[in-house]
Structure 1
Amino acid sequence: LRATADLVGAAKESDVMIIIVPTFLDSDNNPDLSIVESVCKNISKGLEKGDFVISECTLPPRTTKEVILPILENSGLNRGEFGLAHCPERTSSGRAIEDITGAYPKVVGGIDKKSTETAEAIYSVINKKGVITTDATTAEAVKVFEGLYRDVNIALANELARVCMELDIDAIEAFEVANTQPYSHIHKPGCGVGGHCIPIYPYFIISPLKTNTELLQVARKINDEMALYTVKLAEDGLEKVGMKLEDSNLLLLGLTYRGGVKETRKSPAIAIINILKNKGAMVFAYDPLLQADVEQFGAKYITLENTKDIDAVIIATDHKEFKVIDWNKLNLRHKILIDGRQIINPKKIIEAGYIYKGIGVNYANRGSA
């Protein structure tokens, strides 16, 4: 195994080719397949009879048959003279090897029976949890649907969390109790959804297909709005000490989309920064994985030892480092904490003298009769 930038040469030397490149969205939220198409064009120039091509990248359903296959056939070979299958990666940032080798069954789907059987033979050697066989389009849909399920259910949790605030009850308590019923799986609410998967995949269905996808669109809207909702919580907290957002210094803890990973794509923290700045606030940020790199996102870098002028803190990422902060020792101008990830014990932070607000958290009424 060796790395090379010569894709055509690599294709000529290889019997099995695996495509795993990102699929982005354009400015109108339509799937941008240009990278996949470019790779396939290079492969087609080196494709030989008997070769086998696998796409592992997440793709809009029908891409393998309607986009990749025609490009590969420009090699002069016809389907049947080479194999083609979609075998979507089912990994999460930070644990790829574990996921690839046995966290979940591998899903494989070929453009024909022989391609499916070949893919099954390859991945059965790698994956300890076994291989599930289907066709290429179904395999594409499976990976996309996994992301859609999470996006819609997170949106439900976020909307119910806001409902709980109006009902003056604690969403965290309500969700935990509801989930004791085996058919209830309400997710955890938060300040938004980020990463290269969940915020992207809905548009693999919304944009290319004619089917009414109102639920998917509403879910995206709800999750995108959580950044603004989080800022509103900060405004409410500042109001309690007689301050306006435009006169305040805010500290954002975490810019990556998820704790423990150094990835900022579609991170709600970046949306929160932009909203705060547009409202006139001065924004500072600290992320243990990014350090001074936070400044490329429009916030001023600060450490937790230099917070004496900070009026409110917003936790946007569930980094483990934030779970062990000694809030009693943190020197702030005003003790206001907005927990966008529910990682801080409300009882302890309130006892430390903080004005505390969380997504759907109503600690005063938690467990009350």
Structure 2
Amino acid sequence: MSNNPRTPLEAVDDPQAVSDAFTSGAFKTAVYGLGKMGLPLASVFADVTGAVIGADIDGTVVETVNNGQSHVTGEPGLDPLVAKTVNNGSLNATTDLGAAAETAQIHVVIVPTLITDDGTPDLSIVDSVTETIGHGLSDGDLVIIESTVPPRTCTERVLPTIANASGLDESAFGIAFCPERTKSGRAIKDIRRSWPKIVGGVSEEAGVAAETLYQSITENEVIRVSDATTAESVKVFEGVHRDVNIALANELATYTEALGINVREAIAAANTQDECDILRPGPGVGGHCIPYYPYFLFQQFDAESPLLRTARSVNDDMPAHVVGLLADRLADREIAISDANILLLGLTYRPGVAEIRASPSISISETLTTLGSDVSIVDPLLETYDAFSGTPIEMDELYDRSYDGIVIATPHEEFAAIDWNRFDSAVVVDTHGTADTVVSKHAYEPLAGVAVSAETLRERSSIREVVDAP
């Protein structure tokens, strides 16, 4: 083979030559979707290759990127990387996805996949983007899907869509899947080194080509699995694993009252045995990933999946459990939930990340207001609160009123500064067991890294009652 490969698929014959062409910018890469994971990915590709087109239908996003700025917040290293790659010409953005497809030889799709109201995976954005790519595709191009999709999507959906749009034979181009394995707040690190990259091709040629390319952008291992369906399954299995194990932890946490123990303390002690790895209980499961991935299996394939369905139900029910627990504690004091003033602390789905998709706090706030509670909501990371029920307040307004109950739904670091002595008459429902690091932090030391029990907390602080449960 020539040292100047014409297409990415020629990696089968000479991977080093294709790698050289990729890293030198001889092959132009288009990244479709410049969202919270797409922009970091495009920036890393641009830093390595010097020739990336970022394609997104949002004109504001495109304009921001072309100005050398990042619209994605809370990602260490992203702002300077975007500025660097845009300023040196390695990255430019466009709203013209068709033009990007005609220009590039490597096409990386990282757009949202959602769930409809009836639980069906919604791949309409993937369909639209891949059809657009097909219209601009050339013989020998490689298309890589990073969006999380149900297994067999690349084979049964992406491949025929692109073939129909391009008019090319299915063997004339490559389709591969590389699951996005990144977390908000650490995207650059995760893309470059945190975990092995997983790749699988619809064809062997596509798999080898994808393996060759990702070896150039990661310092970690690249694992090429048997095919694209296996790679798709890896990502879904990762999310389902966490959903099921979180459900186990959440169900165990509901035994707090029956057993009369701090379940988190028992979990922490149990996990000192190598074969035990119980996750942390909480008020539910939020985010863009875990609550949705089970549907990519049990809504798409003919399998009963009783465990996956039960786990989803357990996690979906946790916000109601939190409200019920609060209502019971208030009733013990002869305070009706319908007459209660409630403070809901933390609205994002996890600490330190300004994202609210599927956040348990959405359901908690809605349930409380439906029951008649007067709910004040606060989150130091958010600027808008349209998804939540209640009255938004700022941190410096916390002490302007008294509360019958307080729910710590998301334990942001900022809450450690709260003067909990000002709320010494409130019932506090601590959904993440962070009482040792958040509630009355100034008043006592945590116990050897194990969540302080409600009894110990009452002894060490002026709070009358803290309920340590999800």
Q: CA deviation at 1:349?
A: 5.5
CA distance in 1, matches of 2:216, 2:322: 47
Alignment: residue pair count: 357
Q: Deviations over 1:52-104 (max 9, x none)?
A: 10000101000000000000101111222111100011011111111100100
What is residue 12 of structure 1 aligned with on the other side? 102
CA distance in 1, matches of 2:404, 2:393: 14
**Which residue, out of 159, 168, 172, partners 1:69?**
159
2:324 corresponds to 1:232: yes
What is residue 210 of structure 1 aligned with on the other side? 302
Q: Please say if residues 288 and 357 of structure 2, whose CA atoms lie closer than 8 Å, have aligned partners that are also in contact.
A: yes
CA distance in 2, matches of 1:295, 1:58: 27
Q: Please say if residues 457 and 466 of structure 2, whose CA atoms lie closer than 8 Å, have aligned partners that are also in contact.
A: no
2:213 corresponds to 1:122: yes
**Which residue, out of 115, 127, 140, partners 1:25?**
115
CA distance in 1, matches of 2:327, 2:98: 56
Q: CA deviation at 1:353?
A: 2.6
Q: Please say if residues 65 and 136 of structure 1, whose CA atoms lie closer than 8 Å, have aligned partners that are also in contact.
A: yes
Change in Cα spacing, 1:296 to 1:190, as seen in structure 2 (3 Å) is closer
What is residue 338 of structure 1 aligned with on the other side? 429
2:358 corresponds to 1:358: no
CA distance in 2, matches of 1:165, 1:78: 63
Stretches of structure 1 that go unaligned for 5 or more consecutive residues are: 361-369
Change in Cα spacing, 1:301 to 1:7, as seen in structure 2 (3 Å) is same
Q: Secondary structure, in 3 states, of the residue corresponding to 2:284? A: coil
Equivalent position amino acid for 1:310 in 2: Y
Q: Secondary structure, in 3 states, of the residue corresponding to 2:92? A: coil
2:170 corresponds to 1:79: yes
2:391 corresponds to 1:300: yes
What is residue 406 of structure 2 aligned with on the other side? 313
CA distance in 1, matches of 2:116, 2:229: 23
Q: CA deviation at 1:237?
A: 2.3
CA RMSD of aligned residues (A): 1.4
Q: Please say if residues 176 and 199 of structure 2, whose CA atoms lie closer than 8 Å, have aligned partners that are also in contact.
A: yes
2:379 corresponds to 1:287: yes
Q: Secondary structure, in 3 states, of the residue corresponding to 1:38? A: helix
Q: Secondary structure, in 3 states, of the residue corresponding to 1:310? A: coil
**Which residue, out of 161, 164, 170, partners 2:262?**
170
Q: Secondary structure, in 3 states, of the residue corresponding to 2:303? A: coil
Q: Secondary structure, in 3 states, of the residue corresponding to 1:294? A: coil
CA distance in 2, matches of 1:296, 1:79: 44
Q: Deviations over 1:16-49 (max 9, x none)?
A: 0100001001110110110000001100110011
What is residue 367 of structure 1 aligned with on the other side? none
Q: Deviations over 1:248-293 (max 9, x none)?
A: 11111011000011110000000001111111111110000014x2
Q: Secondary structure, in 3 states, of the residue corresponding to 1:126? A: coil
Q: Please say if residues 201 and 228 of structure 2, whose CA atoms lie closer than 8 Å, have aligned partners that are also in contact.
A: yes
Q: CA deviation at 1:173?
A: 1.6
Q: CA deviation at 1:320?
A: 1.3
Equivalent position amino acid for 2:312 in 1: R
Change in Cα spacing, 1:226 to 1:296, as seen in structure 2 (3 Å) is closer
Equivalent position amino acid for 2:138 in 1: E
Stretches of structure 2 that go unaligned for 5 or more consecutive residues are: 1-90, 437-451
Q: CA deviation at 1:294?
A: 2.5
Q: Please say if residues 361 and 388 of structure 2, whose CA atoms lie closer than 8 Å, have aligned partners that are also in contact.
A: no
Change in Cα spacing, 1:354 to 1:254, as seen in structure 2 (3 Å) is same
Q: Secondary structure, in 3 states, of the residue corresponding to 2:351? A: coil
Change in Cα spacing, 1:45 to 1:242, as seen in structure 2 (3 Å) is same
Q: Please say if residues 380 and 394 of structure 2, whose CA atoms lie closer than 8 Å, have aligned partners that are also in contact.
A: no
Change in Cα spacing, 1:295 to 1:41, as seen in structure 2 (3 Å) is closer
Q: CA deviation at 1:348?
A: 4.1
2:224 corresponds to 1:133: yes
Q: Please say if residues 149 and 232 of structure 2, whose CA atoms lie closer than 8 Å, have aligned partners that are also in contact.
A: yes
What is residue 277 of structure 1 aligned with on the other side? 369
Equivalent position amino acid for 2:125 in 1: I
TM-score with structure 1 length normalisation?
0.94
**Which residue, out of 316, 322, 325, partners 2:415?**
322
What is residue 39 of structure 1 aligned with on the other side? 129
| Fraction of identical pairs, as percent | 46
Q: Please say if residues 287 and 294 of structure 1, whose CA atoms lie closer than 8 Å, have aligned partners that are also in contact.
A: no
CA distance in 1, matches of 2:315, 2:247: 5
Q: Please say if residues 16 and 52 of structure 1, whose CA atoms lie closer than 8 Å, have aligned partners that are also in contact.
A: yes
Change in Cα spacing, 1:349 to 1:10, as seen in structure 2 (3 Å) is farther
Equivalent position amino acid for 1:87 in 2: C
Q: CA deviation at 1:302?
A: 1.7
The list of structure 1 runs, each at least 4 consecutive aligned residues, that deviate by more than 6 angstroms after superposition, is none
Q: Please say if residues 145 and 177 of structure 2, whose CA atoms lie closer than 8 Å, have aligned partners that are also in contact.
A: yes
TM-score with structure 2 length normalisation?
0.74
Change in Cα spacing, 1:294 to 1:63, as seen in structure 2 (3 Å) is same
Equivalent position amino acid for 1:312 in 2: G
Equivalent position amino acid for 1:67 in 2: R
Q: Please say if residues 175 and 206 of structure 2, whose CA atoms lie closer than 8 Å, have aligned partners that are also in contact.
A: yes
Q: Please say if residues 19 and 55 of structure 1, whose CA atoms lie closer than 8 Å, have aligned partners that are also in contact.
A: yes
Change in Cα spacing, 1:101 to 1:311, as seen in structure 2 (3 Å) is same
CA distance in 1, matches of 2:218, 2:235: 17
Equivalent position amino acid for 2:258 in 1: E
Equivalent position amino acid for 2:148 in 1: T
Per mean C-alpha deviation after superposition, the further-off stretch among 115-124 and 240-249 is: 240-249
Q: CA deviation at 1:331?
A: 4.7
Q: CA deviation at 1:335?
A: 1.9
Higher relative contact order by CA 8 Å / sep ≥ 6: 1 or 2? 1
Q: CA deviation at 1:241?
A: 2.6
